[in-house]
């Protein structure tokens, strides 16, 4: 008996949208690529990095980063908010964000969980933020 799989992938935020099902009655695989909401016109993308200065502060900074991710994912104007760790510099954490509008970003910047991030981290990390819009 041949087993095939049908996979549906979104090209972003796979922790929310990846689905996998198996069918045992077909002999071929089908792969569907769904459009990524980050590609929609007008979406703003932010790449924010935090490089932790001292190993002793890593747990505090990471805990604060997790908290801001959890809070932000519930916001109306947020499309995607994913935390990454740089494999070449494990003291650097990167958040790749997608937003429906500048108003959504402005709202986010005033939320308690975002303000708590700044207070919890203080000068324990160096932050860099790039806001961009897709051009091609």
Between 69 and 25, residue with greater pLDDT: 69
What was the pLDDT predicted at 114? 96
Residues 6+ apart with CB under 8 A from 72: 78, 81, 97, 108, 111, 113, 114
What was the pLDDT predicted at 27? 54
The answer to whether residue 105 scores a pLDDT higher than 50 is yes
Strand order in the sheet with 4-10: 19-23, 4-10, 30-34
Binning pLDDT at 50, 70 and 90, where does residue 87 land? very high
The answer to whether residue 7 scores a pLDDT higher than 70 is no
Between 11 and 132, residue with greater pLDDT: 132
What the chain holds in terms of domains, given with CATH numbers, is 4-35 (no CATH), 39-133 (3.30.70.100)
Instruction: Please state the rounded mean pLDDT for residues 26-32.
Output: 67
Listed residue (78, 64, 67) closest to 108, CA to CA = 78
What was the pLDDT predicted at 28? 64
DSSP 59: H
């Amino acid at each position: 008996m041949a087993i095939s799989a049908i996979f549906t992938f979104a090209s972003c935020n796979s922790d929310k949208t990846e689905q996998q099902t198996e069918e045992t009655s077909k002999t071929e695989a089908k792969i569907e690529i769904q459009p990524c909401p980050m590609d929609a016109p007008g979406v703003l993308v932010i790449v924010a990095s935090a490089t932790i200065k001292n190993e002793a502060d890593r747990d505090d900074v990471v805990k604060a980063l997790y908290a801001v991710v959890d809070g932000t994912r519930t916001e109306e104007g947020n499309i995607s908010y994913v935390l990454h760790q740089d494999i070449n510099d494990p003291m650097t954490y990167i958040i790749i964000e997608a937003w429906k509008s500048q108003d959504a970003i402005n709202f986010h910047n005033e939320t308690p969980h975002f303000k708590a991030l700044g207070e919890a981290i203080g000068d324990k990390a160096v932050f860099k933020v790039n806001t961009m819009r897709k051009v091609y």
